[in-house]
Amino acid sequence: MKHFTFFVVAVAAIACLAAFIVPLPGHADRATATYLTEIPQGYRGWKWISSAHEAGNLNSLGAVLANDIAFKALQEGKYPFPDGAVIAALHYKHVRSDENNKVFGQAQSFVPGPPTNVQFMVKDSTKYAATGGWGFGHFQNGKPADALFMKPCFPCHQKAGGTDLVFTHYAP
Amino acid sequence: MKHFTFFVVAVAAIACLAAFIVPLPGHADRATATYLTEIPQGYRGWKWISSAHEAGNLNSLGAVLANDIAFKALQEGKYPFPDGAVIAALHYKHVRSDENNKVFGQAQSFVPGPPTNVQFMVKDSTKYAATGGWGFGHFQNGKPADALFMKPCFPCHQKAGGTDLVFTHYAP
C-alpha cells in the first residue's frame, strides 16, 4: 500500500473488444490457427493484475490474471513481455449481491455472477510474429472461438494506450 | 471455465464494513491488539478469489486474494479454514477509464483508481479465539487502524452468509 503511483503497464483487460461483444464462438480452425485453441493450464491460480467493470450491454465484472513470467515483468516494469508470458481475462456477469446488501443495509454491492468467457494473451514472438508476438484466445464454455471471431483482436490491441499491446494497468 | 456452479464459499469481500466506511485509522494499540498491526508479507502476489464493486458512497472496485493455504481450502471446499489461511481485500476507487472508452467508442469501462485501503483476515484459532479464530486487519497508507476502528469487524462478519465468517464467494 506504499506504492501509490500506477505503473503504466498495459494488460489485456478487455482483450479482443469485438470478440467480447459477439457472444457465440464457433469451432476453431485448428489447422491454420494463429490464435489459441487450447486453454492454458492452471490460469485460475495465477496472480491478480487488476479488476475490470464494463457497464452497458457488456454488464461485466472480471479480473485480469498473470502467470509468473508476466507478473514478474509487470512488477519490474520490463517490456516488451518476454516469451512465455501469459495474461488471462476472466469475465462474469456484474450482478447485485443481495446477501451483502442485507448486511450493508443498502443496495450497493456487486459481485461476479455467472461466468461469460475467459480470454488470453500468450507471448511467443516467433509463433505469433504476425500479431505483435501475442497469440490471442477467447473461450466460452471451454470452447475456442473461430478465426473470424478472433480477427479483430490484434488490430484492436494495437490501439491499447499501454505497453506491448496490453490494455490493463497493474493495480498497485 | 467448465465449472459453472459457484462454490458457496465465503471470503472477506467487504471485510469490516464499519471499518470500511470510517476513512481515517489512527495508531494501533500494539500492547493489547487482537487485530493486525503489521501487513502480511507478499499479499500482492497472492491468488485471486473474486472481484468486488461497491457503488454509492464507497465507490470502490477491488479484489479479494488468498494465500496458498486459504486458496487450497477454497478450491477444495474444506472449512473451517485451517490456521495459516490469510485473505486480503484490496480496495481502490472505482474510476472511469477514458483510455478504454476511447477504444470502445462509448463510456462503459471502469477500473481501479487510487488505492483506498487493504484489509486482511488471518486464521489463527488460538491467537484469535475470541473473534472466531480470525484476526482482522485494516491498513491505510500502510498504517493499521486502531482498536475502536476494528471493533465492528467480528460482529459484522458473524452476519456473513457464507462459510467461516467470510463474505466473498470464490469465482469459478
What are A39-74's pLDDT values in tens digits?
999 999 999 999 999 999 999 999 999 999 999 999
C-alpha cell at B101: 472508452
> Which amino acid type is present at position A96?
R
Alpha helices in B6-152 (DSSP H): 17-21, 68-76, 98-104, 147-150
Decide if B47 and A50 are in contact by the 8 Å CB cutoff: no
Are A90 and A65 a contacting pair, CB within 8 Å? yes
CB B115 within 8 A of CB B123: no
Question: What is the enclosing helix (H) or strand (E) of B89?
Answer: strand B86-96
Q: Tell me, yes or no, whether A168 lies in a domain.
A: no
Within a domain: A88 = yes
Q: Which residues in B lie closer than 8 A to residue A17 (C-beta atoms)?
A: 103-104
Question: A17 vs B103: CB contact, 8 Å cut-off?
Answer: yes
For A90, residues 6+ apart whose C-beta sits below 8 A from its C-beta are A44, A62, A63, A64, A65, A115, A118, B171
Q: Least CA distance to A11: which residue of chain B?
A: B100
Note whether residue B111 is domain-resident.
yes
Residue A142 resides in a domain: yes
Domains: count for chain B: 1
Residue B99 lies in a domain: yes
Q: Are B100 and A45 a contacting pair at CB < 8 A?
A: no
pTM of the model: 0.83
| Residues 6+ away with beta carbon under 8 Å from B87 | B11, B12, B15, B49, B64, B65, B66, B67, B70, B120, B121, B166, B168
Task: Indicate whether A74 belongs to any domain.
Answer: yes
Q: Which of A55, A62, A115 sits opposite B4 (nearest CB)?
A: A115
Domain that holds residue B139: 17-23+36-157
Assigned domain for A132 exists:
yes
Rg (CA), chain B: 16
CA gap B96, B98 in Å, rounded: 6
Q: Find the CATH number of the domain harbouring A142.
A: 3.50.70.20
Classify residue A133: in a domain, yes or no: yes
pLDDT digits (tens, 9 = 90+) for B86-96: 999 999 999 99
pLDDT confidence tier of residue A34, bands split at 50, 70 and 90: confident
Model confidence pLDDT, tens digit, residues A139-157: 999 999 999 999 999 999 9
Contact A48 B50 (CB under 8 A): no
